[in-house]
């Protein structure tokens, strides 16, 4: 297959493109800045093209001759707090992708969305849900929507961010410590995208991608601290203090946490259904992956102790 990918120069794309290449597919990754991802061009069968994906003419031109399109574009925060940034990335771009598929004659579309899209009060989840609605309404396309939970793996922006924070702080005031999450390994997400591309039984389906079990946010953060042998006390904040922290962080450069993140955490990021198993993929646990990321030299007794803490 010839596959065009949007957002493939990010975290998931760096794991997905090699897998698609190994499966014999030819891939075109669209990027705003080609020179910033030259390492992807050495992957056999992968080309990176600098394109403004918000330009409908250039987008449709990039889709011509493709067998499928994969949209990985997503943002966790925006400039300001109006929701316009989320809507542009998660709704308006999806609308342009749909029209570009029609113009270029591409029927197969795989959308990587988010678990519980359309639920809750955050701009992130609401806009992800609206994007999904646009795709489901496009009956002339053969679409599949994937809904992963928090994606983790080497160089992720989740566990690594907490590890860096805890290395700098003696005490970590943790917002929403009781929020439930079911992290899914990036390799499993890449495997799922690869699998559904050639599986006609997934057309018209929305698939949940999650890890084998759920955890509270506090359990996850303390597990990382234990693995990395970081001496940092994690102090869970009340709901009121969590909301206050989010409001303050709205004005911190880079937004390590925001009001929209706070609102997203009010909806548990978990699922009783796991469609990875339906695709023949056995989901990897954080216990099987994180030690290699943070504690390669940690003794087995330390790992056992960390596991005990998580399961209390």
**Domain range annotation of the chain:** 2-155+183-209
pLDDT for position 189: 98
Instruction: Say if CB 169 and CB 232 are below 8 A apart.
Output: yes
Give the integer Cα–Cα distance in Å for 212 and 276.
Answer: 10
Instruction: Say if CB 125 and CB 267 are below 8 A apart.
Output: yes
pLDDT for position 200: 97
Give the integer Cα–Cα distance in Å for 275 and 144.
Answer: 12
Give the integer Cα–Cα distance in Å for 243 and 65.
Answer: 48
Q: Which strand (E) or helix (H) includes residue 307?
A: helix 300-310
CA 126 to centroid of chain Cα atoms: 16
Q: What is the DSSP letter of 74?
A: -
* Nearest one of 143, 150, 121, 301 to 220, comparing CA atoms: 150
Say whether 18 sits in a helix, a strand or coil.
Answer: helix
pLDDT for position 169: 94
Question: Is residue 312 over pLDDT 80?
Answer: no
* Residue 11 in tokens: 């975290």
| For range 272-299, the mean pLDDT | 87
Question: Is residue 177 over pLDDT 70?
Answer: yes
Say whether 26 sits in a helix, a strand or coil.
Answer: strand
Question: Is residue 272 over pLDDT 50?
Answer: yes
* Phi, psi for 268 (deg, rounded to 5): -55, 130
Name beta bridge partners: 181: 215, 269
Per-residue model confidence as pLDDT tens digits over 140-149: 999 999 999 9
Per-residue model confidence as pLDDT tens digits over 205-243: 999 999 999 999 999 999 999 999 999 999 999 999 999
- Of how many residues is the chain composed? 312
CATH number of 2-155+183-209: 3.40.50.720
Alpha helices in 154-283, H assignment, sequence order: 159-168, 186-197, 217-227, 239-249, 259-264, 275-278
CA 10 to centroid of chain Cα atoms: 10
* Residue 291 in tokens: 């030690």
Question: Is residue 302 over pLDDT 60?
Answer: no
Name beta bridge partners: 215: 181
Location of structure tokens 């997203």: 264
Considering the chain, what is the average pLDDT of its residues? Answer: 94
């Amino acid at each position: 297959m010839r596959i065009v990918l949007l957002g493939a120069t990010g975290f998931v794309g760096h794991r997905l493109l090699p897998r698609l290449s190994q499966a014999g597919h030819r891939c075109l990754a669209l990027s705003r800045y080609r020179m910033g991802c030259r390492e992807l061009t050495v992957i056999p069968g992968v080309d990176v093209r600098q394109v403004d994906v918000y330009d409908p003419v250039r987008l449709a031109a990039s889709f011509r001759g493709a067998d499928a399109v994969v949209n990985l574009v997503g943002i966790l925060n925006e400039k300001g707090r109006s929701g316009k940034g989320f809507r542009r990335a998660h709704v308006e771009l999806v609308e342009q992708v749909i029209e570009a598929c029609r113009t270029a004659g591409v029927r197969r579309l795989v959308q990587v969305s988010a678990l519980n899209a359309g639920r809750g009060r955050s701009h992130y989840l609401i806009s992800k849900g609206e994007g999904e609605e646009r795709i489901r309404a496009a009956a002339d396309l053969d679409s599949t929507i994937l809904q992963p939970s928090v994606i983790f793996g080497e160089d992720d922006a989740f566990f690594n961010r907490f590890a860096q924070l805890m290395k700098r702080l003696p005490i970590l005031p943790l917002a929403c410590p009781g929020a439930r999450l079911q992290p899914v390994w990036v390799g499993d997400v890449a495997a799922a995208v690869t699998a559904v591309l050639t599986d006609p039984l997934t057309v018209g389906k929305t698939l949940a991608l999650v890890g084998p079990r759920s955890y509270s946010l506090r359990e996850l953060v303390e597990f990382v601290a234990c693995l990395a042998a970081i001496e940092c006390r994690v102090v869970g904040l009340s709901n009121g203090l969590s909301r206050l922290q989010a409001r303050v962080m709205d004005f911190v450069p880079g937004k390590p946490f925001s009001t929209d993140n706070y609102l997203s955490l009010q909806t548990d990021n978990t699922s009783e259904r796991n469609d990875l198993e339906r695709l023949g993929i056995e989901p990897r646990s954080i216990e099987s992956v994180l030690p290699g990321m943070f504690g390669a030299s940690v003794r087995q007794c330390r790992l056992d102790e960390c596991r005990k803490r998580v399961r209390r």
